[in-house]
Homo-oligomer: A and B are copies of this chain.
């Protein structure tokens, strides 16, 4: 064995800096953050960036020698930030996107500095207990039973995937885990509405269930699952030899914000022995807002609930969450057996391991930012902010309904609104199919022009086959006044594209 002389450690190196250097780096970063939070209301929302131009500045070979932090912070501040979309802007209404909170960013610094890793209790006793506390708070916000349990995940897609894995395991048992899905030849069926997020279909593909075995149930005029149609589909499939095992309800669809009739779906799930999963990634935390609370009746009956604290708890990415009504029902789907997962503790709380409830082994201390944001703001302020977001969406709908040049394409669902601009020729009288297509094309061009202009940002959706300007209010900074500015911005974009193509 060759002997190498010991590597000298600098008292102050890039990998292991002195306390002074850490304070200096930290102060520079915090100064940027404070300035950014102040400036974000006034930045152009989306960057005028091209991949080629960014690569020109950022790409370089792996550097052998290091550079000062100040120089790297300058690249971040002068290239990365201006080349980013500003999701914290009060008129960024695209997709389902939270602004982040300052206290959560500070919590992420603390979590990374402590570098706790949370596969199991013994790996990080206090951080794991804090994750339990944060999960308990979320259970309370949702009205879940005390026996429920859960964990934070990288996001909603992974929470949905994990729930379907647990549901399949409860139905198929150890044989599929051991010998694969081919060992269970009868086709499995998952039911969900036509409005469901495609992460459910993706999960079915990955799990070996198959996208085609996700059966889409039609919706009513409010985009809520038609429960009679659900029952008919289950009966049909059973008669044909397929095995219904899971129903996925939505508590806030991404297109229109619809909340499925949860209590009715829970009753069907009970009747047919299905695992009921609720995708509440977008909407679940709206239960903290009094005006939305009744929509969530029945939620606590679900076997599992997906949530995204990085949506309506306003947290920065990433933080998804999965709640199990009966965590023990999920355990067998994920449990590991290896030397490095051997647990010697006898107290069940100390033998606890998150790897028994989800796919990950190493797990970031995401709970800190959830706990710190909820404890710092309090649930009342969070509920008030959510109520304010709901109010903004309703206000937008009222403005649209009172206008001549806009129309709603769906009733506002939670804080989501879908509407479109109508050119003067389309404001009265009947419209042909060709007229409708022209309106679709016009609104698509309006959306692009709006995004380019930078004062407001909407994304698109297809609502009953029509192109909708779609927005989601998910920001504590957004006010009624922003909704008025939004409509003015859309009008300006409409004028611009109309002037371009007469």
Contacts and interface: CB of A to CB of B under 8 A. Distances in A.
Interface string A76-111: 100111111101100000010111111111101111
B112 A63 contact: no
A69 interface: yes
A349 B15 contact: no
Chain B CB count within 10 A is highest, among A116, A207, A361, for A361
A269 to B, nearest CB: 21
Contact of A208 (B181, B352, B376, B448): B181
Contact of A63 (B114, B375, B461): B375
Interface in A452-502: 459-462, 476-477, 479-481
Chain B CB count within 10 A is highest, among A100, A180, A314, A359, for A180
A181 B177 CA distance: 12
A2 interface: yes
Contact of A58 (B129, B352, B384): B129
Interface residues of A, number: 195
Given A361-B156, A364-B318, A4 B391 contact: yes
A262 to B, nearest CB: 21
Given A13-B381, A114-B36, A127-B80, A59 B362 contact: no
A374 B50 CA distance: 25
Nearest to A39: B19
A9 B477 contact: yes
Contacts of A9: 476-477, 479
Contacts of A7: 384-385, 387-388, 391, 479
Nearest to A165: B206
Nearest to A110: B29
Interface string A1-22: 1111011010001111101111
Contact of A125 (B60, B83, B157): B83
Contacts of A121: 51
Interface in A418-463: 448, 459-462
B15 A460 contact: no
A376 B66 contact: yes
A380 interface: yes
A61 interface: yes
A27 B25 contact: no
B14 A378 contact: yes
A50 B347 contact: yes
Nearest to A100: B115
Contact of A188 (B49, B180, B481): B180
Nearest to A398: B1
Contacts of A368: 76, 80
Interface in A280-327: 291, 308, 310, 314, 316-318, 320
Contact of A365 (B13, B34, B317, B385): B317
Nearest to A168: B208
A329 interface: no
Contact of A23 (B34, B50, B210, B462): B34
Contact of A317 (B33, B97, B363): B363
Nearest to A367: B80
Given A1-B397, A6-B480, A362-B308, A374 B63 contact: yes
A398 B205 contact: no
A404 to B, nearest CB: 19
A66 to B, nearest CB: 4
Contact of A133 (B59, B82, B364): B59
B130 A80 contact: yes
22 contacts: A4-B394, A6-B395, A6-B480, A9-B479, A14-B103, A25-B102, A54-B126, A65-B378, A67-B378, A72-B375, A80-B127, A83-B126, A85-B124, A87-B117, A108-B108, A112-B369, A116-B317, A155-B360, A155-B363, A157-B361, A183-B210, A206-B206
Given A179-B187, A198-B336, 20 more contacts: A1-B397, A16-B102, A22-B102, A26-B30, A30-B109, A37-B113, A61-B140, A72-B375, A84-B114, A105-B115, A115-B317, A116-B317, A157-B361, A176-B205, A179-B213, A180-B204, A180-B210, A181-B208, A182-B208, A318-B363
